[in-house]
Amino acid sequence: MPLTLLSAGLVLQTQRVSSLTGTIEKIDSFESKALQNRRNISIYLPPRYAVEKDRRYPVLYMHDGQNVFDGSTSYIPNQEWRADEAAEGLINARLIEPIIIVAIDNGQAARADEFLPWKITMGKNETGGKADLYGKMLTDEVMPMVNAKYRTKTGPANTGLLGSSFGGVITSYLGITRPDVFGKLGIVSPSVWVNGREILKTVKPLKNRQRIWIDMGTKEGSGAVADARALFDSYKAAGWREGKDITLVIDGNAEHNELAWSRRMMSILSYLFGKK
């Protein structure tokens, strides 16, 4: 239904518009025993998936699934990641290998609880601390379902994780705690500031380094760019190699929203899944 917005005394109507590209299947009310709640999941399938029946595909898991494909469900009306359009265009242009994208809705009011590894106080409320349970949902519940239902390639080299803001925090955290699962990380506009920049302390040397994209817009708040650079430097100090397996992108004049992230989506997919 339309949303009513008030601006300078005027009443404006904003109609949410659904715009999906390619083949997207939906799983409604997926039940997580780990988190004891339900959420919707949307799965983008690459072109020719139905035709090339012997082919298997890498998988990218994205947080905040409401915002990934569909402007009618996104947090900001009609602002979405446009991940389906980006993937479809890049695959058809043969710039990336065909991939499956799994968009997992957040827990709405429980979003911060699930994405943050530490309990913190926001306003008058305590939140966070369920990141390991959220990770368990991904690895023990969602991924087995996806692997059973679709023709996926498995293993960290074929499994990516992508999220923004608090979703950037959980992406970094699960990359460090579960490197056996996630080998490609898109850490977009991460909330490094959380809990006194605690995420910087979680980065540690790993035997098998993931391929990592980190970014930040210059209009995302005071200290945001410096925080992104600090996270990037933490990875480099732990052994990641700039230009080899990690990159940092500072996006001039970009704000903290899906419109900005959609503009970087093609670059992110190209970096993580581009043909060698």
Average pLDDT for the chain: 93
pLDDT value of residue 16: 75
Report the pLDDT averaged over residues 88-103.
97
Residue type, 154: T
Q: How confident is the model at residue 4 (pLDDT cuts 50, 70, 90)?
A: very low
Does residue 12 register a pLDDT over 80? no
pLDDT value of residue 19: 79
Q: What pLDDT, in 10s, does the model give residues 206-257?
A: 998 999 999 999 999 999 999 999 999 999 999 999 999 999 999 999 999 9
pLDDT value of residue 13: 53
Measured in Å, how far apart are the chain's first and last C-alpha atoms?
A: 45
Q: How confident is the model at residue 74 (pLDDT cuts 50, 70, 90)?
A: confident
pLDDT value of residue 149: 98
Does residue 141 register a pLDDT over 90? yes
Q: Which residue has the higher pLDDT, 44 or 72?
A: 44
- Multiple choice CATH, 17-273, 3.40.50.300, 3.40.50.1820, 3.90.79.10, 3.30.365.10: 3.40.50.1820
Q: Which residue has the higher pLDDT, 18 or 4?
A: 18
pLDDT value of residue 76: 86
**R_g over Cα of the chain:** 18
What is the number of residues in the chain?
A: 276
Q: How confident is the model at residue 14 (pLDDT cuts 50, 70, 90)?
A: low
Q: What pLDDT, in 10s, does the model give residues 145-180?
A: 999 999 999 999 999 999 999 999 999 999 999 999
pLDDT value of residue 120: 92
Q: What angle do CA 184, 77, 19 make, to 5 degrees?
A: 70
pLDDT value of residue 124: 83
Distance CA 171, CA 229 (A): 17
pLDDT value of residue 18: 72
Does residue 181 register a pLDDT over 80? yes
Nearest 5°: phi and psi at 226?
A: -60, -35
Distance CA 29, CA 173 (A): 26
- Measured between alpha carbons, how far is residue 25 from residues 113, 145, 147, 218, 259 in Å? 27, 14, 15, 35, 23
pLDDT value of residue 122: 83
Write a three-state SS string for the chain: CCEEEEECCEEEEECCCCCCCCEEEEEEEEEECCCCEEEEEEEEECCCCCCCCCCCECEEEECCHHHCCCCCCCCCCCCCCCHHHHHHHHHHCCCECCCEEEEECCCHHHHHHHHCCCCEEECCEEECCCHHHHHHHHHHHHHHHHHHHCCECCCHHHEEEEEEEHHHHHHHHHHHHCCCCCCEEEEEEECCCHHHHCHHHHCCCCCCCCEEEEEEECCCCCCHHHHHHHHHHHHHHCCCCECCCEEEEEECCCCCCHHHHHHHHHHHHHHHHECC
Residue ranges of the domains in the chain?
17-273
The answer to whether the CB of 101 falls within 8 A of the CB of 82 is no
Does residue 27 register a pLDDT over 50? yes
Q: What angle do CA 152, 154, 155 make, to 5 degrees?
A: 160
Q: What is the pTM of this model?
A: 0.93
Distance CA 193, CA 11 (A): 37
pLDDT value of residue 9: 45
